């Protein structure tokens, strides 16, 4: 654990740490406010010998330590306190505590510390307790009984009185609670950091693999049940810019390709944002003037057509089954250069279909026709479909959710891909916290027009394919 790790842990969980600190301090403040106030009075007396007429002889009683201890205990017992209460006219409910501290040496000196619920009560008891103890001292101290006819309590220091309570001590309590709360807050942050293995940042991903993080797409929330299309909903927002960064880096990753580019986009587990990433990346590539085909190869749970509001009853499975040609089922999204080949009817044998000769032939045909082919594939860990499709494509992108993906999931997915001799071209980190400063720079564009056309507006390639049908027919 380094200093940087400590600051990272606190930065990621500062809300929880701050809540713990505030709760501890608030609890101490409430306890301090509700604790009854205690006032203190102090005095020092010595026991002097008195003759029969009550005059002091000026002699100090010499008592052994055992008798001093006995008198100190009696001073705080009901034998002394009850008569004092009766003499002062206080009820038994008036709280009082007496501490008699014998001074060093043989002299009969005692330091009295008296505490009660008010300054007046504390001082009154500090004056009365020594006198009552002197009257009872001869009964419990044989040395005193032999030293004179009576015992008299004489003050060395007069009883003090303070208007400020000694308990509770707000400053001390808040300081201690603040330190305790800070300790608990740091312990909470470090503990959660140790047990939380989510890959939240690009640095976390670089600790798992040396493959580049092509882009980090922040999460701002979305309305409705459809996948957000950042370049349509907020074309100048931080999410749209993150997708454009992904587009640029993706072109550099595959810069050596002489013809069409193709990538499988997958993830370790479901719900990490791969379909949303595919759709937005397709929009970004189409925005740059390239023709893009989004191929829904997740035949177990096809969702591309549904997310775009397109027809999903026919698609890839229809073509592979020989029921339709690609020009019959490929759909164009709005007026963009992004085209969609949906999954179609869910088959009983998805992996076999994707690994068939018909799929290989169709894919080579699509790669020749479109500048980019993006394949939305099932997650790596549950099924092997992504490995099957990676044998046809030129690269693979692994989507990682900062909100849910664990380190072990990515490591296991990488091992699975390595076993299948599949190389990962890069990572896409999704659902990252947005940087507020960057968000203000981008600004909000709620009134921006959807230049690409309204969501759900589409037409089959059959309608638009007059521009392309001849080329498809020659393949």
pLDDT given for residue 181 in this prediction: 92
pLDDT in tens, 175-192: 999 999 999 999 888 887
Q: Which CATH class is domain 202-473?
A: alpha beta
Beta strand 395-401 with 96-102 is unpaired
Q: What is the mean pLDDT of residues 316-334?
A: 94
Which of the 8 DSSP states describes residue 466? G
Q: Which residue has the higher pLDDT, 377 or 449?
A: 377
Measured between its terminal Cα atoms, the distance across the chain in Å is 60
For 69-84, how does the pLDDT look when each residue is reduced to its tens digit (9 = 90+)? Answer: 888 888 888 888 999 9
Task: Indicate yes or no: pTM above 0.75.
Answer: no
Topology (CATH) of 39-157? Alpha-Beta Plaits (3.30.70)
Would you tell me how many other CB atoms lie within 10 Å of the CB of residue 416?
16
Rounded CA-CA distance 318/303 in Å is 16
The gap from C-alpha 4 to its chain's centroid, in whole angstroms, comes to 17
pLDDT value, residue 166 = 87
d(CA 76, CA 329): 98
The DSSP element (H or E) to which 408 belongs, if any, is helix 407-419
Q: Which residue has the higher pLDDT, 361 or 163?
A: 361
Bridging pattern class, strands 426-432 and 292-296 = unpaired
DSSP 425-444: -EEEEEEEPPPHHHHHHH--
Which region among 213-217, 254-258, 267-271, 316-320 has the lowest average model confidence (pLDDT)? Answer: 254-258
H-state helical runs in 295-384: 304-308, 316-320, 326-329, 350-354, 357-369
Distance CA 371, CA 365 (A): 12
Q: What is the mean pLDDT of residues 376-395?
A: 93
Grade residue 201 by pLDDT with cuts at 50, 70 and 90.
confident
CB contact set of 341 (below 8 Å; sequence gap of 6+): 293, 294, 295, 296, 315, 316, 319, 326, 329, 330, 331, 366
- For 234: left if phi > 0, alpha if psi spans -120 to 50, otherwise beta; the answer is beta
Confidence of residue 160 (pLDDT cuts 50, 70, 90): confident
SS3 at position 286: helix
Residues 6+ positions from 39 with CB-CB distance below 8 Å: 115, 116, 117, 118, 119, 121, 122, 162, 165, 166
- DSSP state letters, 248-278: HHHHHHTTT-SS-EEEEEEESSSSSSHHHHH
Q: Which of 263, 353, 341, 261 shows the shortest CA–CA distance to 302?
A: 341
- Which of these, 76, 91, 60, 61, lies nearest to 126 by C-alpha position? 76
Confidence class for position 144, pLDDT limits 50, 70, 90: low
pLDDT higher than threshold 70 for residue 405: yes
Q: How confident is the model at residue 156 (pLDDT cuts 50, 70, 90)?
A: confident
CA distance 251 to 420: 25
What does the DSSP 8-state code read for residue 454? -
Query: What does pLDDT average to over the chain?
Result: 83
Residues near 53 by Cβ (< 8 Å), separated by ≥ 6? none
Average pLDDT score over residue span 269-293: 94
**Whole-number Å distance between alpha carbons of 8 and 203:** 11
Q: How far apart are CA 239 and CA 431, in angstroms?
A: 10
Quote the CA–CA distance of 454 and 167 in Å, as a whole number.
71
> Residue 105 — very low, low, confident or very high, per pLDDT cuts 50/70/90?
low
Angle at 124 between CA 118 and CA 128, to 5 degrees: 145
Among the listed ranges 117-131, 218-232, 396-410, which one has the minimum average pLDDT value? 218-232
Domain limits, the chain:
3-35+168-195, 39-157, 202-473
In three-state secondary structure terms, 77 is: coil
pLDDT, tens digit (0-9, with 9 covering 90-100), for 411-447: 999 999 999 999 999 999 999 887 654 544 555 444 3
Q: Which of 40, 59, 63 is nearest to 49 (CA)?
A: 59
pLDDT tens for residues 39-69? Answer: 999 998 887 767 655 555 555 556 677 778 8
Give the residue with greater pLDDT, 356 vs 460. 356
For residue 456, name the pLDDT band (cuts at 50, 70, 90): very low
Based on C-alpha coordinates, what's the Rg of the chain?
42
CB 294, CB 370: distance < 8 Å: no
Q: In what order do the strands lie in the sheet with 338-341?
A: 213-218, 426-432, 395-401, 261-267, 372-376, 292-296, 338-341, 331-333, 458-460
Task: Give the model's pLDDT for residue 96.
Answer: 87
- The pLDDT of residue 305 is 94
Residue 471's pLDDT band (cuts 50, 70, 90)? very low
Percent of the chain past pLDDT 90, that is, above it, reads: 46
What span, in angstroms and rounded, lies between the C-alpha atoms of 242 and 394? 23
User: Predicted confidence band at 275 (pLDDT cuts at 50, 70, 90)?
Assistant: very high
Q: Tell me, what's the pLDDT at 258?
A: 47
């Amino acid at each position: 654990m380094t200093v940087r790790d400590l600051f990272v842990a606190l930065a990621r969980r500062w809300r929880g740490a701050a809540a713990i600190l505030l709760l501890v301090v608030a609890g101490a403040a409430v306890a301090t406010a509700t604790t009854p106030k205690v006032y203190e009075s102090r005095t020092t007396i010595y026991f002097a010998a008195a003759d029969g007429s009550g005059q002091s002889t000026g002699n100090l009683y010499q008592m052994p330590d055992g008798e001093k201890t006995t008198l100190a205990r009696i001073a705080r017992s009901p034998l002394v306190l009850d008569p004092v209460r009766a003499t002062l006219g206080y009820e038994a409910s008036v709280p009082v505590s007496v501490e008699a501290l014998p001074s060093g040496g043989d002299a009969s000196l005692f330091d009295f510390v008296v505490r009660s619920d008010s300054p007046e009560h504390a001082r009154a008891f500090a004056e009365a307790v020594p006198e009552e103890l002197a009257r009872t001292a001869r009964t419990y101290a044989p040395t005193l009984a032999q030293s004179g006819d009576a015992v008299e309590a004489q003050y060395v220091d007069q009883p003090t009185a303070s208007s400020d309570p000694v308990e509770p001590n707000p400053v001390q309590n808040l300081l201690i609670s603040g330190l305790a709360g800070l300790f608990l807050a740091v312990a909470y942050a470090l503990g959660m950091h140790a047990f939380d293995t989510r890959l939240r940042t690009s640095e976390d991903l670089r600790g798992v693999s040396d493959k580049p993080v092509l882009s980090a797409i922040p999460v701002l929330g979305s309305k409705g049940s459809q996948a957000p299309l950042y370049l349509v909903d907020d074309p100048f927002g931080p999410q749209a810019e993150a997708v454009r960064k992904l587009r640029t880096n993706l072109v550099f990753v595959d810069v050596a390709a002489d013809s069409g580019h193709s990538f499988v986009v997958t993830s370790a587990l479901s719900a990490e944002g791969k379909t949303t990433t595919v759709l937005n990346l397709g929009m970004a590539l189409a925005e740059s003037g390239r023709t893009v085909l989004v191929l829904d190869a997740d035949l177990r749970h096809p969702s591309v057509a549904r997310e775009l509001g397109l027809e999903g009853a026919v698609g890839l499975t229809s073509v592979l089954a020989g029921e339709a040609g690609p020009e019959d089922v490929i759909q164009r999204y709005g007026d963009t250069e992004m085209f969609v080949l949906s999954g179609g009817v869910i088959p009983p044998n998805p992996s076999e279909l994707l690994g068939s000769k018909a799929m290989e032939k169709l894919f080579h045909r699509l790669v020749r026709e479109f500048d980019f082919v993006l394949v939305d594939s099932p997650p790596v860990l549950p099924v092997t479909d992504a490995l099957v499709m990676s044998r046809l494509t030129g690269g693979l992108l692994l989507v990682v959710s900062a909100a849910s993906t664990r380190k072990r999931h990515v490591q296991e997915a990488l091992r699975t891909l390595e076993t299948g001799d599949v190389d990962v071209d890069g990572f896409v980190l999704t659902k990252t916290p947005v940087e507020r400063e960057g968000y203000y720079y981008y600004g909000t564009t709620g009134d921006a027009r959807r230049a690409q056309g309204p969501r759900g507006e589409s037409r089959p390639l059959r309608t638009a394919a007059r521009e392309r049908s001849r080329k498809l027919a020659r393949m």
